[in-house]
Amino acid sequence: MAKALVTGGTGFVGSHVARALVERGHEVRILRRRTSRLDVVQDVACEHFIGDVTDYDSLLAAMDGVDWVFHVAAVADYWRNQPARIYEVNVDGTRNVLQAAEAQGVQRVIFTSTAQAVGYRSDLQPVDESVGFNWDQHLTPYGHSKFLAETEVYRAIRRGLDCVILNPAVIIGPGDLNQISSSVIIEAARGNIPPTIPPGGATVIDVRDVAAAHVAAAERGRTGERYLLGSVDLTHKAWLRLTAHVVGREGPAIPLPAWIVYIVAWGADVLRRFRVPLPIEGNQLRLSTRMMFFDARKAWRELGEPQVPIRQSLQDTYDWYRAHGDL
């Protein structure tokens, strides 16, 4: 069995990765800040190590004697953070992790990227791993930061470090403390379902399937490969209707034309410049007009197919929020 370090181990994805590793019999250490909430790791039998990906010395200490590093820590809620912070953590922090792993002789690094670090196709066909990042970096600073972080990973590979890259699509499931992707479930349960929806769609996957893919990537992923992780493609209309059904509400009915969404996005940008608090920002709205579907068959073949149906994922998420007093 391996000894593994999980950065961001108290977060949504990181906590599930730590749990999956423990269930497979591995020895697990999580890297966390002193201020990190421990709600989702209280029952995980792992060692806690205080540090931060922006603190190189803490990374060196945390990786002492470690075989595998799962670099999950990132600023994912980009609409709540300034671009400078996103790049500092996601790019500079990744560089620190890789250099510390090299210095400590780590056997393998699994880097959690995002499907947003992959590009788009003009013919609207599902995107696979071969499509390079071609977005306007201002439209998706999060995706751009992860693209730059992947560049750091490839540099480390050329220096001899064994790394595998995972690119999850939209992740839902229980344990989303910061309410990133799963916030739609809370809003729907509270009755905040908009009467109109954007025309796009997204590939979705349960967090437990993402965690299983991380363990599989460490055990049998190919060095230097990137793997898109996804379970099912859903239009926003289908996703919100399914969510509404799970929480016992009426679903949305009217898709908006893209041009109206762009006007609303412009308005959101103006309001945010005047520091008006909003639950969404302009670039999120602009991206919501696109069919952001990804071809995850490579990961299915090499790492295993997703096992959690999306309706079950939504139900489990809803039940988790209810049990933890969020609803």
Active site residue ranges: 142
DSSP string, 137-183: TTT-HHHHHHHHHHHHHHHHHHTT--EEEEEE-EEE-TT-TT-SSTH
CB 292 within 8 A of CB 286: no
Residues facing 168 on adjacent strands: 229
- Structural tokens at position 10: 């108290």
Going by their DSSP bridges, the two strands 108-112 and 201-206 should be labelled as unpaired
- Structural tokens at position 211: 């965690």
Q: Which helix (H) or strand (E) holds 21?
A: helix 12-23
CB 27 within 8 A of CB 1: yes
Residues facing 164 on adjacent strands: 110
Beta strand spans in the chain (E): 3-7, 27-32, 47-50, 68-71, 108-112, 163-168, 170-172, 196-197, 201-206, 226-229, 232-235, 254-255, 291-292
Helices (H), 248-309: 258-273, 282-287, 297-303
Cα three-residue angle 157-158-159, rounded to 5 degrees: 90
Q: How far is CA 192 from the centre of its chain?
A: 24
Length of the chain: 327
Q: Which helix (H) or strand (E) holds 203?
A: strand 201-206
Cα separation, 127 vs 129, in Å, equals 7
Cα separation, 279 vs 254, in Å, equals 21
The torsion region of residue 179 among left (phi > 0), alpha (psi -120 to 50) and beta comes to left
Other residues' Cβ atoms within 10 Å of the Cβ of residue 220: 11
